[in-house]
Structure 1
Amino acid sequence: MRTFAIGDIHGGLRALTQVLNQLELKDGDKVIFMGDYVDGWSESAQVVETLIDLSKIIDCVFIKGNHDVWCEDWLKNDTVNPSWYMHGGKETMESYNDFSIAEKNEHLTFFENMTMYHLDDENRLFLHAGFTSMHGVEKEPFQKTFCLDRTLWEMTLAMDQKIAKDTSFYPKRLQHYKEIYIGHTPTTNYGIPTPVNIANLWNIDTGAAFKGKITGINIDTKAYFQSDNLPGLYPDEKGRN
């Protein structure tokens, strides 16, 4: 069995299709999606539809991102968060123009059933953004942190890589897990178009919302697979600038 993690998608169905084609998924494989399926490019509803169909034939885990929280709220309550509307929500709403009420309700159920984090049998943690509790995710007081936190990532950026993991100087948040996989903060913000590994943390958001790519990574071999840059796949769109 192979296990893959796929970073932020942001409505880029064409890029997602490229990555899935490279993975050549087969029976027994598992795919962990890191959240932010919507908001950015023009095919958010189509991305969700594709993921629902994929989950019927392949073992999938869908982690909830902050953009997914906003979209879920809109599908459930017809609530348009102003910040969401400005950061991709408008494009997501338009992508649903040809979807029926029944189809929208099926998508709402998809969002409602997402998990905030996933911990596998090898003590590898997957979540959209990060967490703050020194005692691990199970002790996190506010679950919305899993969608929004950037302090975990920023802490690893500032780490002295010479610190040994078995010393008291090593960050306690990192000690709880064999590996941690996140998205949310694009590696392209730092001029890096590929996944970034610092200590036991892997960031696989490679900027699909903006000018980067969607990335899928085999979490055992660390081989990764990337789409083309999103602006080239959607030449008539701006994405989230």
Structure 2
Amino acid sequence: MARLIGISDIHGEYDKLCAVIDKISPQKSDKIVFMGDYIDRGLKSRAVVDKLIDFGDVCHCVYLIGSHEYAMMHAKTDDYYNYLFWNYGGDSTVKSYGSFENIMKIHGEFFRNLKFYHIEGKYLFVHAGLRNGIPIEEQDEEDMVYIRSEFYNKKHSFPYKIIFGHTEFDEPQVQDDKICIDTGCGKYKNAPLTAVVIENGSESFVNSD
């Protein structure tokens, strides 16, 4: 039976990504939605992106944009995003690529093609969340990668269970209308990377520990 898998907020932690993938052991029929924040903080951002790209040959993969990719891609043209990139772990990403310019030279196609959300059956995957009362196709890009309490603390009216990351917790947070899978990987030394695995309509969790 095909599984639907969500993984978010890897933050350069290549070894934890490999540990989660090994535990899940994805099959060709599975689909993985990678939900952004692949880079920064951890030491192996380039290796993480290489792994994600290569994994597209193993099963069907969908790649979403996170707040850290969004800041990186706007850093050269916007002082605010330049500040965010360099002050939230961007130096680790630059070191892994050799220079800031190398990021887009090496993986520009990957970053330029990242999506803001993905709908699969009754599930909607997005990095940070959605603003309630606004049609999905009219959502603000910044909200989808940066929103926090305005989304998390309120019940939404969208016809999907929303899978998201961005706001970290000690363990996955499950509500009737949403699931957060960011467990602090890359931000806290011993925090695991967590994946949600959806099979036969039920959700379970796998982490890198």
* Aligned with residue 193 of structure 2, among 203, 206, 214: 214
Secondary structure of 2:88's aligned partner = helix
* Aligned with residue 185 of structure 1, among 167, 178, 194: 167
Give percent identity, aligned residues only: 30
| Counterpart residue number, 2:29 | 28
CA RMSD of aligned residues (A): 2.3
Distance in 1 of aligned mates of 2:33 and 2:151: 20
Q: Runs of 5+ in structure 1 lacking a partner?
A: 156-170, 188-192, 229-241
Secondary structure of 1:147's aligned partner = helix
Distance in 2 of aligned mates of 1:90 and 1:154: 32
What is the CA-CA distance between 1:209 and the residue it aligns to?
A: 2.5
Bigger CA radius of gyration: 1
| Counterpart residue number, 1:131 | 130
Secondary structure of 1:71's aligned partner = helix
The answer on whether the counterparts of 1:72 and 1:108 sit within 8 Å (CA) in structure 2 is no
| Counterpart residue number, 1:224 | 205
Asked if 1:198 corresponds to 2:180, the answer is no
Distance in 2 of aligned mates of 1:98 and 1:52: 20
**Greater mean alpha carbon deviation, residues 206-215 or residues 11-20:** 206-215
Distance in 2 of aligned mates of 1:183 and 1:82: 22
Distance change in 2, residues 1:54/1:146 (3 Å): same
The answer on whether the counterparts of 1:117 and 1:128 sit within 8 Å (CA) in structure 2 is yes
Q: How many residues align?
A: 202
Normalized per residue, the structure richer in strand is 2
Distance in 2 of aligned mates of 1:89 and 1:100: 13
Distance change in 2, residues 1:106/1:59 (3 Å): farther
Secondary structure of 2:11's aligned partner = coil
What is the TM-score when the length of structure 1 is the normalising length? 0.77
| Counterpart residue number, 1:5 | 6
The answer on whether the counterparts of 1:32 and 1:63 sit within 8 Å (CA) in structure 2 is yes
The answer on whether the counterparts of 1:133 and 1:139 sit within 8 Å (CA) in structure 2 is no
